[in-house]
Amino acid sequence: MLRLIIVALAVATAGAIGFFAFKAITPPPPTIIPAVAAPSLDAVPDEPSKKVIPDTLPDITLADRDGNPTKLTSFGGRPLMVNFWATWCAPCRREIPLLNKIRAERKTQNAEIVGIAVDFRDDVLKFASTTPLNYPLLIGEEDGMAAADAFGMGMAFPFSVFVDSKNQILTVKIGELHEDEANFAFDRLRDIDNGVLTRQAAQTAVADAFREMAAERARQDSPVETHSAE
């Protein structure tokens, strides 16, 4: 089924890159990408899915690098980020060094990052053999798409889910993750654990901060207007 989907999308968008035609899932150009987290857990993806982001970490099972069935919830009970990606997705590949860096820096917080590759297993393993992914990796084809669907997100790669130590979802970042966003979200997960913020207050803080960060990036990416002297 996954291979049929890939072929159909590729035919429909001749010249698109990757296995899955990017037209179905590519975000807007970088200069106008809002790249913000879902503002609340009531937010839903764009048409036509109309699915709701769940309150808690879904109890899904995918194979790890060695082919062992692994429950995603086995990584819970700590500050957690779940990153959905694919080898053919350029923004996904760009995120990997940042994820390695964040995981190393957040060891003192007992935080974890888990990558979920929605892609062909052989391609993922080949990619991982040459590109360091210093965090747990789960792999799924059709079951990987089902996992993304369980988060109410479908094929909107990449996306990252931040989860608190009670396995409650704080927010979902759609699009390429940036370091300031990752650090802000993990800091709010720490605030929840320390009783500094309620989950609802942390969600509001993250949504507001992500919007401001995205707006600042958009300003920086916008071409500077020049006016000739009259």
Domains of the chain, CATH where assigned: 26-221 (3.40.30.10)
Conformational region of residue 82, where left means phi above 0, alpha means psi within -120 to 50, and beta covers everything else: beta
Residues in a beta bridge with 169: 163
CA distances from 175 to 20, 27, 86 (A): 16, 7, 13
Is residue 76 within 8 A of residue 163, CB to CB? The reply is yes
Measure the CA–CA gap between 181 and 156, rounded to whole angstroms.
Answer: 18
**Gyration radius of the chain over CA positions:** 18
Strand order in the sheet with 69-71: 69-71, 61-64, 137-140, 112-118, 80-85, 159-163, 169-174
Residues in a beta bridge with 69: 63
For residue 42, which amino acid is it? D
Count other C-beta atoms under 10 Å from residue 47's C-beta.
6
CA distances from 199 to 40, 162, 174 (A): 11, 12, 20
Close Cβ partners of 19 (under 8 Å, ≥ 6 residues apart): 6, 10, 86, 88, 119, 120, 123
Residues in a beta bridge with 161: 82, 172
**pTM for this structure?**
0.77
Along the 230 residues of the chain, how does pLDDT read in single tens digits?
555 444 333 333 333 334 333 333 344 333 223 333 333 333 333 443 457 899 999 999 999 999 999 999 999 999 999 999 999 999 999 999 999 999 999 999 999 999 999 999 999 999 999 999 999 999 999 999 999 999 999 888 999 999 999 999 999 999 999 999 999 999 999 999 999 999 999 999 999 999 999 999 999 988 765 554 44
Measure the CA–CA gap between 2 and 118, rounded to whole angstroms.
Answer: 10
DSSP state of 77: S
Is residue 170 within 8 A of residue 185, CB to CB? The reply is yes
Measure the CA–CA gap between 4 and 223, rounded to whole angstroms.
Answer: 41
Close Cβ partners of 123 (under 8 Å, ≥ 6 residues apart): 19, 87
Is 75 in a helix, a strand, or coil? Answer: helix
